[in-house]
């Protein structure tokens, strides 16, 4: 009843490293459960700072039913200037609460969980939105950070196997490091390009940047799949010229995302084709002859689903650290 565990980043990393295929299935199930209403996923709450406009700390509360039956909250900081000092941009914790009593049951280091659920959502979308597979195609990755690296790992785990990768980043060292990582871990060609247009011409384009406003203004070709993970790279006109698949319509059309700007420009939501879960369950079909853009705002239910898996594994393998007497009172009187 009053057990409380800590799961460290090292333990989280090892568990996730050995369960990518499982995480892909977990994320897909969570999307489907959310679509049918077996979840509560309120708006995310943004803490911003007047003297640090590029930085924020976000709270993502959620409840997921299905086979998880946990509530919780992720508290994640994004401070892009950390990278200039060699530090990761993001840091996070995830608190999980028992649904029966409301008591917290664990606190997990969650930067790795957040990266994994984000990458898994991109990979689930990639294999769903290009059902013909990836032989004969090129995947471009715009952005060379931790999220981009993790997305590439999960694309590989999902069986998305292109003939080659091309990486673009304004920081050449980061871009080349990601290309090296792909060659080493996947054994397939990967090159760096300083020319953004070369990357944008690839069959599948993955955006994993820290962009605050749109800079891509040319519409994509009919056969392209775009994973708009960083959400703010695309001008609204680009969004309006494509089929648009979101993770959750209400969540994605806010906070100045590219789909939000498209809604403001067009005055309606008619450009939204549907949700990824809708495509997965057959309720949403894509329009032939149009590019497809997947824009996931990032749902707290995914953090819960992946966090629940990590906690279960950590308890099973003995890497969860029990905190005795965490609660000061364990009876009403």
Of the candidate CATH numbers 3.40.50.10070, 1.10.1200.10, 3.40.50.720, 2.170.120.12, the domain formed by 131-295 belongs to 3.40.50.720
User: Is-same-fold flag (5-113+300-322; 131-295)?
Assistant: no
* 193 within 8 A of 205, measured Cβ to Cβ: no
CATH of domain 5-113+300-322: 3.30.1780.10
- What is residue 147's three-state secondary structure? helix
The confidence score (pLDDT) of residue 84 equals 86
The confidence score (pLDDT) of residue 86 equals 86
Domain ranges of the chain: 5-113+300-322, 131-295
Instruction: State the pTM of this model.
Output: 0.94
Q: Phi first, then psi: what are they for 237, rounded to 5°?
A: -65, -35
35-48 pLDDT, tens digit per residue, is: 999 999 999 999 99
53-98 pLDDT, tens digit per residue, is: 999 999 999 999 999 999 999 999 999 899 888 888 889 999 999 9
Name every residue whose Cβ is closer than 8 Å to that of residue 14 and which is 6 or more positions away in sequence: 319
DSSP for 151-171? HHHHHHHTT---SEEEEE-SS
What residues of the chain score a pLDDT lower than 70? none
DSSP for 184-201? HHH-S-EEE-S-HHHHHT
């Amino acid at each position: 009843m009053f057990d409380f565990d800590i799961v460290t980043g090292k333990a989280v990393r090892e568990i996730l490293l050995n369960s990518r295929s499982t995480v892909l299935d977990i994320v897909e199930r969570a999307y489907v459960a959310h679509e049918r209403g077996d979840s509560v996923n309120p708006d995310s709450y943004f803490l911003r700072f007047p003297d640090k406009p590029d930085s924020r700390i976000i709270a993502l509360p959620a409840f997921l039913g299905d086979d998880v039956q946990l509530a919780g909250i992720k508290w994640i900081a994004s401070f892009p200037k950390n990278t200039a000092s060699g530090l990761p941009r993001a840091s996070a914790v995830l608190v999980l609460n028992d649904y029966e009593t409301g008591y917290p049951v664990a606190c997990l280091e969650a930067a790795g969980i957040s990266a994994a659920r984000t990458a898994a959502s991109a990979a689930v979308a990639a294999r769903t939105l290009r059902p013909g597979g990836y032989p004969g195609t090129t995947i471009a990755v715009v952005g060379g950070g931790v999220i981009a690296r993790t997305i590439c790992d999960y694309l590989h785990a999902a069986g998305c196997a292109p003939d080659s990768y091309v990486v673009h980043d304004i920081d050449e060292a980061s871009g080349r490091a990601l290309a090296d990582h792909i060659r080493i871990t996947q054994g397939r060609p990967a090159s760096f390009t300083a020319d953004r247009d070369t990357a944008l011409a690839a069959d599948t384009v993955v955006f994993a940047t820290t962009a605050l406003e749109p800079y891509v203004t040319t519409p994509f070709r009919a056969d392209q799949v775009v994973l708009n993970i960083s959400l703010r790279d695309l001008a609204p006109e680009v969004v309006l010229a494509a089929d648009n698949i979101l993770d959750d319509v209400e969540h994605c059309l806010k906070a100045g995302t590219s789909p939000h700007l498209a809604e403001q420009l067009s005055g309606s939501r008619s450009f939204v084709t549907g949700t990824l879960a809708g495509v997965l369950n057959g309720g949403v079909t894509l329009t032939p002859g149009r590019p497809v853009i997947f824009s996931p705002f990032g749902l707290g239910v995914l953090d819960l689903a992946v966090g629940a898996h990590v906690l279960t594994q950590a308890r099973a393998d003995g890497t969860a650290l029990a905190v005795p007497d965490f609660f000061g009172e364990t009876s009403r009187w």
